[in-house]
Structure formats: structure tokens, C-alpha cells
A and B are shown apart, each in its own frame.
Chain A
Amino acid sequence: MSLLEIRDLNVRYAIAGRVKAAVAGLANRYIDAVIDVSFEVAAGSTLAMVGESGSGKSTLARAIVGLTPFASGSIVFDGSNPFATGPHPSRAYHRDVAMMFQDPVSSLSPRRTVEALVGEPFVIHGLGNRNLGAEVRRLLALVGLPADFAGRYPHQLSGGQARRVGVARAIALNPKLIIADEPTAGLDVSVQGEILNLLARLQAELGLTYIVITHNLAVVRHASDRTAIMYMGRIVEAGPTAEIFAAALHPYTAALIAAQPNPDPAHRRSGPVLTGEVTSLRNRPRGCEFHPRCARAADDCRELVPAAIGRGPGHTVRCHHPLA
């Protein structure tokens, strides 16, 4: 059963006010950051969102937790619509869905102690009257930090320790879904592994569901059940992680996988190579957004936006000429 179900979600940012748009003659005063995104996350599973910078994956995450209002589409969480009453989700939804931000240290308020930071969700949700100190120590132990860290400030923590504090805060209210934006960014490789193992252990113990946003394919392969690849605001391919790594259907996915560094010096690159930069969101190409960088682009790619087509159970691709 799916815990989170997203249908045709669109998020847009205004780049100019009404007056400025009229004066400058802008036909479209919006930038579309997320377009027609639909996906489901099954309870207890991990979905990886992959894409280059600017592909809209962080905007998507912000829209799901209610930090950025979405223009259209629907979000159904655990059978109900948390945005039924407007752009601000219900309090229960805030408790059920936690978000972890990219930078481990600067996502912690700099003048609060670890104890205050980890205890904050309880205070915000009016649960501060139970024994907060004991609760914080329990959470710190759960993420593998000694209890005497409670008195420290964020700048006294290493990246990995700060990330653990962030995890402790995220799981404080027993959420059902955790959205982790680049959980391993900026950490040493050994610490990255520890954090991924910690997340996996907590998932097993607490029955958590994760959406992991990353551009690190090693993390994707290691940690996720399903993968969705985003390009310029659209999900271009989604499917079971193993299947995507074994047989990618979209040329972009194949190029991303081929671009991974391989430690074997005898290894020679095979598969398509990505050339050029991501096109600006202000000048969205006609047709398939990927066609200016795609080796397989044909005439229809320049004219028609490809629809999502199903290829096997739970595997979809938006491409006129998929690889298989």
C-alpha cells in the first residue's frame, strides 16, 4: 500500500510581478520548477530522487513538506489530503513527515544547544511537558551519540555528528515519512557509510519510509528500493533501482550511470556521454527537454513532449525512443 501518492504535481516560481511582466511583454512570468510529477512511495520503502542541480528535486521535496506552495496537482498521504484546507498542511502532517536538509551543520539553528534542537519538535507540537531531557537522551542514543552531546552547540559538532543530530530531530515525533535532501553531502566517505547504515537501521527498527534526494548514484544503488530520475522538472524515468541500473530505458539515465567513476583503471567508458549544460529553465526547449543533449534525438523529439509509458511492472519512461 502506498503511503504517499502524488499526482500531476506542478510547482512554479514567479520571476516577475504582474506589472513588470506586462511592461516587459513577458508571455510567461513563471518558471516551471516541477512539471506533472506523479509517483507513489510504498510504506516502509525507500525512493531515491536523482537529478542534476536545478532538476527540481529539492523544490519537489519542499512542496511535499509544504514549504513551497504548489500550483496544481494532488498529494495524498496515508489516505487523506493534508493540503485540503490551503497551502499550509495540517499539524498532524507536520508530525508525520519530517525533512532533513542538505547541509548538516547549517540546518541546525546556531545558537541552540543540541538538547534544545532535538527537543524542539516536542515543544512546537505541545508535547514539551513530558520529560524532555530523557526524551532527548533516548533519541541521541538511538542515533549513536553520547548523552553529553546535549550541551553542545552546532559549531562544536563535526559534519557527521551534526547529521546524526539532524536525524535525531527528524525521528523525534515518530514520523512515517522522512525526506532526506542529500543526506551524505559534505561528509567523509567513511562517515557517509555510517549515516546510510544508521538510516537503514532506523528504517528497520521504526518502519520508516524514505525519500532520498541525491545525485550520488552510489547512494542510490546502496540505499533505495525504487529510483526516479528528474530532468528539468519532469520525472523522465522511474522504476525499481536494480532494474534501472541493469537496463536503463531513458538516454539520460543511461548517460548518468555511464558517467559514474569506475575504480578499475582498465575500464573504458561505454554508453552515451552527456555533453553540454542543462538548458536554462527560462528557455525550456520545445518537445522533449532533453533533446538538445540527446544522441538519439529525432524530429518528433523536437516537437512533442513524450508521455510517460509503462515498460514492465512499475517501470515508466518519458521517451519517444527508449533504449529497450
Chain B
Amino acid sequence: MAPVGPGFFARMARRLRGDPLGALGLVLVLLLVFCGLFAPWITPFDPFKLNVPDKFQAPNLVHLFGTDNLGRDIFSRVIAGSRIALWVGVSTIATALAIGLVLGLVAGYGPRWLDNLLLLLFDSIYSFPTVILGLTVVTLLGASVATLMFVVIVIQTPAYARLTRTATLSIKSSEYIQAIESLGASKLRIILIHLLPNVVGPLLIVASMDIPSVVSLEAGLTYLGMGIPPPAPSWGRILQEGYSVIQVAWWIVVAGGIPLILTTLGFTFLGESLRDNLDPKLRRIL
């Protein structure tokens, strides 16, 4: 894997030109990030403002995606929803990644008994079906953004920890780690300076490809009424509200579904492109 240095972005840009799917992914992800960051300033209407006389308007030039049963502008709600999706997706994956990295490095480089203990823990968590675990925790703790993020972090952390552990195990017997050990370096120094930079690259790619599945999980749990409580304009909420009135207003479900599809495609295309360009060896395991 080529190290990130000067010329890295220029090189990536050149490669993306020969990789239209990767470029499409990048555009979609940038679009989502733009919407998420600037949602309050770019929505044409207030996503919470009721306007009952205008309810169930089909898509038109004023309301691009139409209005819902309370007359709220769906286009504005979709854009506002991107902020929730981005926040939940990126922050939970980042947290899970950080915890997973630490646990994986400790398991891979630490003593054998600790490795076995951590593996048991990872596998126990891994063995829970995602949605059932999510529903249980939400039922116990109550539906909120924080609960949802907690669930996702608990589910995702073992996956990253296991990947980190495997990568650490394969690196720790390499000659350069032994060479550092023979100099008398501390374990902490070896982990932070020599192991971490060499395991983190592939993991970032995996994580970027996981963001859409978290966004979908958030939408799914919200759709089931177990995610983000109303009136927040989550995409799952838009889907759920649209589903109940699908016979009068089909466009609401479509408007809630399209951003989910685009987000998934965007992150997947971008992730695959990064993987192929940065570390072709990963193609075998991802």
C-alpha cells in the first residue's frame, strides 16, 4: 500500500478519471457530506413547519418531492435527514473503529490469555442477530439517537477488532517488528508507532464501506419505530410515514428511499475504488 504523502491526492484524482464508478461514488459521498453539513442553510422550506392546507401535493416545481400528510416539504426533510444519517453513520463508525483498533491491537500483540478472552467477547457479541439486539436494547433504554448509536457501536466494534487482530498477528512476527524488539523498544511504542500505521489503512476502507449499512440500520430501526423519535426527519421516518399513506401519496416512499440507495451506492463504489487503488491485496478478503 502506497503511503499517503504529497502527490497522493493528485494521484488519486488521476486514477478516479479512469474509474467512472469510483468517481460517481466520490460525487455521491461529497453530495451527502455537503447536504449534511449545510442542511439548515440549503433547505428551501423549514422541514418541521406544518402547512396542512398544502398536504399531499404531488411533486411540483415548488415542492420538488411533494408534501406529506401535514403539508411539510419532503425535499427539505430529505436534506435535513442527510444530516442525521451522516452524523449517525460517521460518528458511530468512527467510535467503533477507534475502540476496535485498540482492542484488536491488544488482542493481537498482548498475552495469549487476553487474546482468548477478547476473542470470546467479540464472538459473543457477534453471535447476536443485529436487529434483534437493536430492538432489545432500544426497548430497554428507550428510543433515541444515543441508544441507536450505542447499539451500532456495540455491533460494529467486534468486527473491526477482529480485523485489526488478524492484521496485527500477521505483522507481529515480521522482521521489522522483531528488529524493533531487539532494540529494546517498549510494547506501547511498538503498538503505536509500528503496528498501528500498518493495520489502519485497510481498516479505514472497510469502515467507509460500512457507513451505508449503519445508515440503513438507522433507517430500518426508525421505520420500526425503534430508532430516532419523531418529528426528526430521518429517512426511516419519512419512509414509515410515507408507507402508511402510500395509496394517496406514492412519492413520499420514493423520496425517502432514493437517498438511502444513493448513499449506499456512493460509499460502496468509493470504498471499492479506494480498495482497488490503495491495496489490491484486500480484494481477496473484502
Contact = CB atoms under 8 A, between A and B. Distances in A.
Interface of A: 62, 65-67, 89, 91, 94-95, 98-103, 106-112, 120-121, 124-125, 153, 166, 169
Given A67-B181, A99-B182, A124 B194 contact: no
A99 B183 CA distance: 8
A109 B176 contact: yes
Contacts of A110: 3, 176, 198
A65 B178 CA distance: 11
B203 to A, nearest CB: 14
B189 A107 contact: no
7 contacts: A94-B182, A107-B176, A107-B178, A108-B179, A124-B183, A125-B184, A169-B179
A98 B198 contact: no
A91 to B, nearest CB: 6
Interface string B1-31: 0010000000000000000000000000000
Contacts of B182: 65-67, 94, 98-99
A101 B185 contact: no
Interface in B127-158: none
Interface in B148-194: 174-186, 189, 193-194
B197 interface: yes
Return the 8 tightest CB-CB contacts between A and B, nearest first.
Answer: A94-B184, A107-B175, A101-B175, A99-B182, A111-B197, A109-B176, A107-B179, A124-B185
A83 to B, nearest CB: 14
Nearest to B184: A94
A125 B186 CA distance: 10
A109 B184 contact: no
B107 to A, nearest CB: 19
Given A103-B175, A109-B176, A153 B181 contact: no
Contacts of A98: 182-183
A106 to B, nearest CB: 5
Given A103-B175, A107-B176, A153 B3 contact: yes
B184 A102 contact: no
A116 to B, nearest CB: 9
A88 to B, nearest CB: 9
A69 to B, nearest CB: 13
A166 B87 CA distance: 46
A77 B242 CA distance: 80
A153 B182 CA distance: 21
Contacts of B185: 120, 124
B178 A67 contact: yes
Given A66-B182, A107-B175, A124 B3 contact: no
B216 to A, nearest CB: 34
Nearest to A94: B184
Contacts of A100: 179
Contacts of A111: 3, 197-198
A157 B198 CA distance: 19
Given A107-B175, A110-B198, A120 B3 contact: no
Nearest to A166: B179
Contacts of A108: 176, 179
A101 B178 contact: yes
Given A111-B3, A111-B197, A111-B198, A106 B175 contact: yes
Given A101-B175, A102-B175, A103-B175, A109 B3 contact: no
Interface in B46-90: none
B198 A99 contact: no
A107 B178 CA distance: 8
Contact of A101 (B179, B189, B198): B179
B198 A91 contact: no
A109 B174 CA distance: 9
A107 B183 CA distance: 12
Contacts of B3: 110-111, 153
B184 A95 contact: yes
Nearest to A95: B184
A67 B173 CA distance: 11
A101 B181 CA distance: 12
A168 B185 CA distance: 17
Contacts of B177: 109
A94 B183 contact: yes
A125 B189 CA distance: 12
B176 A106 contact: yes
Nearest to B194: A109
Given A101-B176, A120-B185, A166-B179, 4 more contacts: A99-B182, A109-B194, A111-B198, A124-B183
Contacts of B197: 111
Contact of B174 (A91, A95, A106): A106
A99 B179 contact: yes
Contacts of A120: 180, 183, 185
A306 to B, nearest CB: 33
A112 B194 CA distance: 8
A77 B61 CA distance: 86
With most chain B CB atoms within 10 A of its CB, the pick from A67, A106, A124, A153 is A124
Contacts of B193: 109, 112
A124 to B, nearest CB: 5
B271 to A, nearest CB: 22
A166 B185 CA distance: 16
Contacts of B194: 109, 112
Nearest to A99: B182
Contact of A124 (B176, B184, B198): B184
